[in-house]
Structure 1
Amino acid sequence: MSRTNEVHAPGTWFSSIPRSFEEVPIDTANGNAILTVEFLEAAGSLVSLFDVIGGVGLAAVKSDLTGNITKVQERYNKAPAESQTLQDLVRNELKSGQHKATEGLLWLVRGLQFTASALRLSLNNPSEELNASFLGAYKAPGGLSTHHGYIIRKGTEVAIKSGVPYRKDFYNKLGENQAEVNVALEKEVKALENVVTILLQFQSTPEAQWK
């Protein structure tokens, strides 16, 4: 899908990405089914946001997101007819006795939830530095830190504290007009939060379990 000005204001970073989460179709009449290809395009676009942030503090998170996108993409490539929606991809992979992509999607959603939470904290607290927003999201109840062991958790906390650049530098990279940047960021975060909520709910159901 080509970028349209109606989705995000031109001149912001969001207007340049291949697909935003606002452009991910959700079939509310079919159990909130989410189209796989469009989701993966949006997830890949969001990963590039970590390049905008810069620094080394979130390098591991970016790497994990990229790796898990690849796992889901590989399953889609292997069985596209059975994987048109993320929900069907999971159901059909589990029926085949495999769970590589299903587990990859689980971790991908956790990473996206962390990203959405950090950006939400940043939006809601304009005086808060970016590393504080990401650290708050990481350590939040039910956040990404709860799925990490002690060593990884402490290492990630140190990396975020010391390796995430200043807030003003990040927001300036998103666009010159900060009012437009805030509007575009709010739209994207809201859409991402919605997708994450839908997928978390699905992943909690028996049909999405492999253990």
Structure 2
Amino acid sequence: MEEPVIPKNLFGEAVIQPFPDLTDGEIDTTLFLQSSRGVVRIVEAFGQPFMPVQRDISQNIKTLQEIFNQNPRDNITIDKMISRERSLNEHSAGQALLWLMRGLQYFHRFLTLVVNDFREGYPTEDLIGFARQAYDETLFYHHSWLARQLFQVLCRFCPTRSVLTLKLVIDRDQHTYADHHRQLMLDIDRYLISLGATIDHINGFCLG
């Protein structure tokens, strides 16, 4: 992608933070949970119909935060939290992390499809197809028949590209929608790098 037109991060890293880099090969729990809360803010931009998804992600974050608070020193990284839980033959953190990661994988795939479509030069306004494709490639394999049907209905309420852009851009100024949209795609593209690296690490070590 070319250099951005607007020299600022419209995605708002103060609100939606990139996922943290590894520290000594592990993921800092506090930073990971902060970044995960940013995904909740992304889901909020999808509107009221996606409240069940928002609640599900928030509940898994809450569970992990509560486990961390019980023993911050031993749970300082996600890796240590899961290793400690396995040694105690417990499953709460593992289950919460598993479902949180499945949600993160869905939004990573959805946003990747949106950005890739932008790269093609003729960005699609209707994002319903991307919402369904991302679901079929991620959450579909983990849901019951009923959940699959409900999510297909939910996808019909996916906001359009322009609506999603206006909801995610936090600092609108005199620039045009096209400029804002282009900058947002660049910001999300960078964001997806950190999210993808986090997903790969957790799936490989913590959930492997």
User: 8 Å contact 1:55–1:165 — kept in the other structure?
Assistant: no
SS in 2 for 1:80: coil
**In 1: Cα distance, 2:93 partner to 2:86 partner:** 9
CA distance in 1, matches of 2:111, 2:16: 20
Structure 1 runs of 4+ aligned residues shifted over 3 Å read: none
Matched position secondary structure for 1:64:
helix
Partner of 2:18: 20
Shift of 1:179: 2.3
Aligned match of 1:5: none
Residue 179 of structure 1 is matched in structure 2 by 182
Q: Determine whether 1:147 maps to 2:142.
A: yes
User: Partners of 2:28 and 2:103 in 1: how far apart?
Assistant: 19
Query: After superposition, what is the alpha-carbon deviation per residue over 1:168-204, rounded to whole angstroms, capped at 9, x for unaligned?
Result: 1111223342222111110111210111011111134
Partner of 2:205: 202
Pairwise CA distance, 1:53: 2.5
Measured on the aligned residues, the alpha-carbon RMSD in Å equals 1.8
1:69 alignment partner, one of 34, 52, 61: 61
Q: TM-score, normalised by structure 2?
A: 0.84
Residues 67-103 of structure 1: per-residue CA shift (max 9 Å, x gap)? 1101111110011111111010001122223211111
Q: 1:55: Cα distance to partner?
A: 4.1
Cα deviation for residue 10 of structure 1 reads: 3.6
Larger RCO (CA under 8 A, 6+ residues apart): 2
The structure-2 alpha-carbon separation of the partners of 1:157 and 1:51, relative to structure 1 and needing over 3 Å to count, comes to same
Contact 1:106 1:203 in 2 (8 A): no
Asked if structure 2 preserves the Cα contact closer than 8 Å seen for 1:14 and 1:20, the reply is: no
Query: 1:138 and 2:135 equivalent?
Result: yes
CA shift, 1:118, in A, is 0.4
Query: What's the offset of the Cα at 1:11?
Result: 5.7
| Contact map agreement 1:116 1:192 (CA 8 A) in 2 | yes
Assess if the C-alpha contact under 8 Å between 2:16 and 2:39 holds in 1. Answer: no
Kept after mapping to 2: 8 A contact 1:68/1:104 = yes
Q: Report the secondary structure of 2:90's partner residue.
A: coil
> Counterparts in 2 of 1:21-36, with a 5 A limit?
21=19, 24-27=20-23, 30=24, 32-36=25-29
Which whole-Å CA distance do the structure 2 matches of 1:180 and 1:69 have between them? 29
> Any stretches of 5+ residues in structure 1 without a counterpart?
1-8, 206-211
Higher mean alpha-carbon deviation, 84-93 vs 176-185, is at 176-185
Which amino acid is 2:197 matched to?
N
Do residues 157 (structure 1) and 155 (structure 2) align? Answer: no
Deviation digits for residues 85-135 of structure 1 (CA, Å, limit 9, x no counterpart): 101000112222321111100111111011100000111113332222121
After superposition, the Cα gap between the structure-2 partners of 1:183 and 1:18, relative to the gap in structure 1 and judged at 3 Å, is closer
Q: How does 1:38-117 map to 2 (within 5 A)?
A: 38-56=31-49, 58-117=50-109
